[in-house]
């Protein structure tokens, strides 16, 4: 069906050589505007006719796009005045008209206003940074832009910048003080032994901040003409849903590289959101995964090269930020991140390529301390499949085959139960999610896939073989997404496993198709405006066999455990214009017929253990502390208060972004154990798994299941 639809789209594109010609009149010589007209025409036809929910580009989409567009051009409300926004609001319900007529006034108008304000702000910042700041004042800065209105006057705007710069200079100053004191503590003869004064350090801090802003303002004032239209089209696309997106040529190039998984960098997918560069996902086997501290949802504020001066990337274009983060294999990049609180952490990552072995399923045999029973543990970082090898008839590797091998091995060891760890699993090949779910049941439907036309396809397990018949616990967290939610949801619906984890999984229950906007245009047609980039378009939605969508709500575990990061707003439900949760008709399926345990009793026993656990007591305490930090978005500008916050941040997260249990990317590798054999690494990894309180609780749940239903084995 998808292939037929794509062919129809390509046939339609053949008409581009004649249809857009009318709209280019009156703009001779304006390359950027003419290109925008062709691009806008293509996007209007795709978005208006082929999105999943068949939403037309109308006033509703126009108003959504306008709000998103304002965030694109001034996400932190640091440039535009209220009167500027009021002037632009005249276009709030006219974006649909502009897309339909291919006459784009809003990007032109907004670019002109923003250019003027940028000149004014540049002068303000230069003036403010030319003199000392008073760090003894009892005042605060609101760091959540959603709680701010646009400034009513230039004086109010200057005051907003004064507070922002006070905080930035203060944090830079404290860092310089710590460096100075560290050198002094190193003893006589240490490098840089001279004792810089407070005044000297503040001057240095102001100079460094000014240098960063000069680069930012220069970049803003020298952007390409095409970029003002690209931002506009990104806002229009994202008004449909968070995963529908226009990717300009440079963004598409980064997307292609990340999908190939061959990038020498940090191994993370990034996205631009409200002026920030955010971590969308951590790639299994990549440097960030092995280092273990960077998390999905982290905001990257600065990028430093080894010991060099970090560059502020707030309001920087994604492609420029990526160029700073990417680098030569073996070199170190230091990321200053914000984890939904006012605190900043610095995470060092050694650039490398993805280590393929770390992306594969990995198993271990654990022992329950009380009973001595053997328990199988399998960590599945993603649903991988070598499509290229399949196509060329060569050797292939898939998560399906690896899971079969691990299940056979564990079954031969007579394990009493199995823990399947899907934490941080962001998805992958749908085929493998279906196959792996089928390994635990005799046969039946696994997932329903609904197209935009309303047609529902049911993907079944047709293999009657059951590769493991014992009790199963599935571990999930809010970073378990897409295909991992399909697997967890199917095993939950069949009553085949007890799902254990945080309040919910990610809730990513949609499918996107990448449309190369150049591919459908005949050769030698519109070549002067290529490349156009690509459109990421939502075309399908997932539903469980129970009829419930995995979209938005995700999978709610049977047993909910304390989550150190539970207060973070991570998941589909926190994204603007996410498609809603809904239901379809349940698929006919038969629940697991083996003796089933009393889930209420299992939950009660787990709850009692968690209340008595020192590990979970600590996790609850840290979670509450983080919740308070996230809720309080007023940042003190008093030096004593900020110094105390920095100390608290180190205590809570560790000096360089310690990741709490349940969220670390457990690969069992680090630069310090490079000399170890593969067997030693496996032992090290297994020891780390045993220490994980979530794995220990999952083991205890398995023992309760076995005790309540001994006929499982």
Q: What are the pLDDT digits (tens) for 181-213? A: 877 776 665 454 457 899 999 999 999 999 999
Pick the range with the lowest mean pLDDT from 178-192, 372-386, 551-565. Answer: 178-192
Closest CA to 170 of 646, 653, 633: 646
Structural tokens at position 470 = 């014992």
Burial class (CB in 10 A: 0-12, 13-18, 19+), 362: buried
Structural tokens at position 476 = 């999930």
Distance from C-alpha of 176 to C-alpha of 198, rounded to nearest angstrom? 10
Greater model confidence, 444 or 384: 444
Distance from C-alpha of 480 to C-alpha of 491, rounded to nearest angstrom? 15
In order, the DSSP letters of 563-597 are: -TTTTS--SGGGSTTPPPP-B-PPPP-----S---
What is the distance, to the nearest Å, from the Cα of residue 157 to the centroid of all Cα atoms in its chain? 32
| Residues contacting residue 521 through CB under 8 Å, at least 6 positions apart | 13, 16, 17, 530
pLDDT of 256 over the 90 cut: no
Q: For position 313, what pLDDT does the model report? A: 87
Greater model confidence, 430 or 21: 430
Query: Buried b vs exposed e over 404-427: b needs ≥16 C-beta within 10 Å?
Result: bebbeebeeeebbbbbbbbbbbbb
Q: What is the CATH number of domain 265-350?
A: 2.30.42.10
pLDDT of 676 over the 60 cut: yes
Structural tokens at position 90 = 């005249």
Confidence of residue 397 (pLDDT cuts 50, 70, 90): confident
How much is the pTM? 0.87
Q: For position 353, what pLDDT does the model report? A: 72
**In angstroms, what CA-CA distances link 24 with 37, 95, 203?**
7, 18, 53
- Domain 369-509+549-712's class? alpha beta
What is the distance, to the nearest Å, from the Cα of residue 407 to the centroid of all Cα atoms in its chain? 31
Distance from C-alpha of 682 to C-alpha of 106, rounded to nearest angstrom? 58
Residue 334 forms beta bridges with which residues?
304, 348
Q: For position 82, what pLDDT does the model report? A: 98
Q: What is the mean pLDDT of residues 466-484?
A: 96
The H or E element spanning position 500 is strand 498-501
In order, the DSSP letters of 93-106 are: TTHHHHHHHT---H
Distance from C-alpha of 683 to C-alpha of 359, rounded to nearest angstrom? 18
Asked if 432 and 400 touch (Cβ cutoff 8 Å), the reply is yes
Q: For position 19, what pLDDT does the model report? A: 41
Burial class (CB in 10 A: 0-12, 13-18, 19+), 97: middle
Q: What is the mean pLDDT of residues 28-40?
A: 88
Range(s) for CATH 3.90.226.10 in the chain? 369-509+549-712
Q: What angle do CA 526, 529, 535 make, to 5 degrees?
A: 95
pLDDT of 86 over the 90 cut: yes
First to last CA, the chain: 44
Q: What is the mean pLDDT of residues 86-112?
A: 97
What is the distance, to the nearest Å, from the Cα of residue 110 to the centroid of all Cα atoms in its chain? 29
φ, ψ for residue 237, nearest 5 deg: -65, -45
Distance from C-alpha of 280 to C-alpha of 318, rounded to nearest angstrom? 13
Q: For position 6, what pLDDT does the model report? A: 37
pLDDT of 27 over the 50 cut: no
Distance from C-alpha of 485 to C-alpha of 472, rounded to nearest angstrom? 16
SS3 assignment, position 90 = helix
In eight-state DSSP terms, residue 344 is: E
Structural tokens at position 303 = 């990028």
Distance from C-alpha of 470 to C-alpha of 487, rounded to nearest angstrom? 17
Report the 10 Å Cβ neighbour count for 309: 10
Residue 636 forms beta bridges with which residues?
140
Q: What is the mean pLDDT of residues 452-460?
A: 96
pLDDT of 34 over the 90 cut: yes
Greater model confidence, 580 or 299: 580
SS3 assignment, position 422 = coil
Asked if 305 and 209 touch (Cβ cutoff 8 Å), the reply is no
Asked if 477 and 450 touch (Cβ cutoff 8 Å), the reply is no
Query: In whole numbers, what is the pLDDT of the chain averaged over residues?
Result: 87
* pLDDT (tens digit per residue) in 493-529: 999 999 999 999 999 999 999 999 998 787 778 889 9
Closest CA to 520 of 9, 34, 43, 35: 9
pLDDT of 153 over the 50 cut: yes
Structural tokens at position 76 = 């932190």
Q: Is the peptide bond before 109 cis (omega within 30 degrees of 0)?
A: no
Q: What percent of the chain has pLDDT over 70?
A: 86
Q: What angle do CA 602, 698, 669 make, to 5 degrees?
A: 170
Q: What is the mean pLDDT of residues 590-607?
A: 90
Range(s) for CATH 2.30.42.10 in the chain? 265-350
Strands (E), 227-385: 245-247, 268-273, 276-282, 299-305, 311-312, 332-338, 344-350, 362-367, 374-379
CA torsion sign for 148, 150, 155, 159 is positive
Structural tokens at position 204 = 């240095």
Asked if 406 and 398 touch (Cβ cutoff 8 Å), the reply is no
Distance from C-alpha of 144 to C-alpha of 76, rounded to nearest angstrom? 8
Residue ranges of alpha helices (H) inside 186-277 are 198-221, 225-238, 249-260
Closest CA to 700 of 419, 315, 505, 382: 419
pLDDT of 337 over the 70 cut: yes
Q: Map tokens 């089933």 to a residue.
A: 596
**In angstroms, what CA-CA distances link 601 with 183, 558, 587, 709?**
58, 12, 29, 12
**In angstroms, what CA-CA distances link 325 with 305, 311, 317, 352, 645?**
8, 10, 13, 12, 27
* pLDDT (tens digit per residue) in 228-250: 999 999 999 999 999 999 999 87
């Amino acid at each position: 069906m998808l292939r037929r639809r794509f062919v129809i789209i390509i046939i339609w594109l053949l008409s581009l050589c004649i249809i857009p010609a009318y709209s280019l009149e009156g703009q001779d010589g304006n390359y950027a505007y003419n290109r925008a007209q062709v691009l806008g025409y293509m996007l209007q036809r795709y978005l208006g006719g082929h999105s999943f929910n068949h939403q037309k580009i109308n006033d509703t989409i126009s108003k959504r796009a306008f709000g998103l567009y304002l965030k694109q051009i001034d996400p932190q409300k640091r440039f535009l005045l209220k009167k500027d926004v009021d002037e632009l609001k005249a276009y709030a319900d006219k974006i649909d008209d502009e897309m339909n007529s291919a006459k784009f006034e809003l990007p032109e108008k907004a670019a002109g206003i923003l250019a003027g304000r940028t000149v004014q702000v540049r002068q303000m910042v230069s003036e403010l940074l030319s003199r000392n700041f008073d760090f003894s004042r009892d005042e605060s800065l609101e760091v959540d832009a959603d709680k701010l209105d646009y400034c009513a006057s230039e004086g109010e705007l200057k005051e907003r910048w004064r507070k922002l710069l006070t905080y930035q200079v203060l944090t830079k100053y404290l860092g310089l003080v710590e460096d100075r004191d560290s050198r002094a503590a190193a003893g006589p003869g240490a490098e840089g032994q001279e004792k810089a004064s407070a005044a000297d350090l503040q001057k240095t801090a102001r100079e460094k901040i000014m240098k960063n802003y000069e680069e930012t303002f220069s970049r803003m004032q020298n952007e390409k003409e095409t970029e003002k239209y690209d931002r506009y089209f990104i806002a229009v696309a994202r008004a449909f849903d968070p995963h529908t997106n226009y990717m300009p040529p440079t963004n598409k190039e980064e997307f292609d590289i990340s999908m190939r998984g061959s990038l020498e960098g940090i191994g993370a997918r990034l996205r631009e959101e409200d002026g920030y560069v955010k971590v969308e996902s951590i790639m299994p086997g990549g440097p960030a995964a092995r280092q273990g501290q960077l998390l999905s949802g982290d905001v990257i504020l600065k990028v430093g090269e080894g010991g060099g001066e970090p560059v502020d990337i707030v309001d920087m274009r994604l492609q420029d930020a990526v160029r700073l983060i990417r680098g030569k294999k073996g070199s170190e990049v230091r990321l200053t991140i914000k984890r939904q609180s006012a605190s900043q952490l610095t995470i060092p990552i050694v650039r490398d390529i993805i280590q393929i072995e770390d992306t594969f399923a990995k198993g271990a045999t654990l022992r329950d301390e009380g009973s001595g029973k053997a328990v199988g543990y399998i960590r599945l970082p993603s649903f991988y499949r070598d499509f290229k090898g399949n196509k060329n008839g060569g050797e292939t590797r898939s998560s399906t085959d690896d899971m079969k091998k691990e299940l056979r091995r564990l079954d031969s060891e007579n394990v009493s139960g199995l823990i399947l760890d899907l934490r941080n699993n962001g998805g992958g090949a749908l085929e493998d999610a279906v196959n792996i779910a089928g390994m635990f049941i005799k046969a039946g439907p696994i997932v329903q896939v609904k197209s935009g036309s309303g047609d529902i396809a049911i993907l079944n397990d047709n293999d009657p073989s059951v590769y493991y018949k014992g009790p199963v616990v599935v571990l999930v967290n809010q970073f378990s997404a897409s295909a991992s939610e399909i697997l967890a949801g199917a095993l939950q619906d069949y009553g085949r496993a007890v799902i254990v984890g945080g309040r919910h999984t990610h809730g990513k229950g949609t499918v996107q198709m990448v449309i190369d906007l150049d591919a459908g245009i005949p050769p030698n047609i519109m070549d002067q405006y290529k490349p156009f980039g690509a459109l990421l378009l939502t075309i399908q939605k997932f539903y469980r066999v129970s009829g419930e969508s995995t979209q938005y709500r995700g999978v709610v575990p049977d047993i909910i455990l304390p989550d150190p990061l539970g207060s973070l707003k991570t998941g589909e439900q926190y994204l603007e214009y996410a498609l809603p949760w809904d239901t379809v008709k349940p698929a006919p399926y038969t629940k697991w017929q083996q003796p089933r345990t009393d889930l209420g009793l299992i939950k009660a026993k787990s709850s009692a253990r968690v209340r008595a656990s020192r590990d979970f007591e600590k996790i609850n305490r840290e979670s509450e502390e983080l919740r308070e930090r996230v809720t309080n978005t007023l940042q003190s500008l008093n030096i004593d208060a900020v110094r105390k916050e920095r100390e608290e941040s180190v205590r809570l997260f560790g000096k360089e972004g310690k990741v709490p249990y349940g969220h670390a990317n457990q690969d069992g590798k680090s630069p310090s154990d490079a000399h170890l054999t593969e067997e030693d690494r496996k032992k090290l990894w297994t020891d780390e798994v045993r220490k994980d309180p979530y794995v220990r609780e999952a083991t205890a749940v398995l023992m309760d299941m076995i005790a309540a239903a001994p006929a499982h084995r």
